[in-house]
Amino acid sequence: MLKATVVGSVWSTKRVEGLPNGAFLEVEVDGSGTSLVVFDVLGSGVGEHVLVATGSVAAAYFPDPHPPVDALIIGSIDEK
C-alpha cells in the first residue's frame, strides 16, 4: 500500500459502464512528486492522509463483475 494525500477530484461523465458508487480522487504519493487517480468509497476529503491499494485487489473489493479500477483508498491514516 502507498501513503498518499488527497489533492482533488476527477470527474468523468463519459465513462465505461459498471463503475460503482464512489468518487475518483487525485492523490499525491508521500515522498514522491507522483500523483495518481484512485477510487474512493469512504468519502475522503482534500488534504486527508490515506492508504491506497493498487492493482487488481482494488477491483476485487467490489462484487463480481469487478469494475475496472486499479487503485482504491482502503483507509484514512490516523494522525498520531
**In the chain, what is the straight-line distance between the N-terminal and C-terminal CA atoms, in Å?**
19
Query: Does 29 contact its own copies by CB under 8 A?
Result: no
Distances (CA, A) of 42 to 33, 37, 48, 51: 24, 15, 11, 11
Query: Does 7 contact its own copies by CB under 8 A?
Result: no
Query: Does 24 contact its own copies by CB under 8 A?
Result: yes
- C-beta of residue 56 within 8 angstroms of C-beta of residue 62: no
Query: Does 20 contact its own copies by CB under 8 A?
Result: no
Site residues, its own copies (CB under 8 A): 1-3, 10-16, 18-19, 24, 26, 31, 35-39, 41-42, 51, 53-61, 65-78
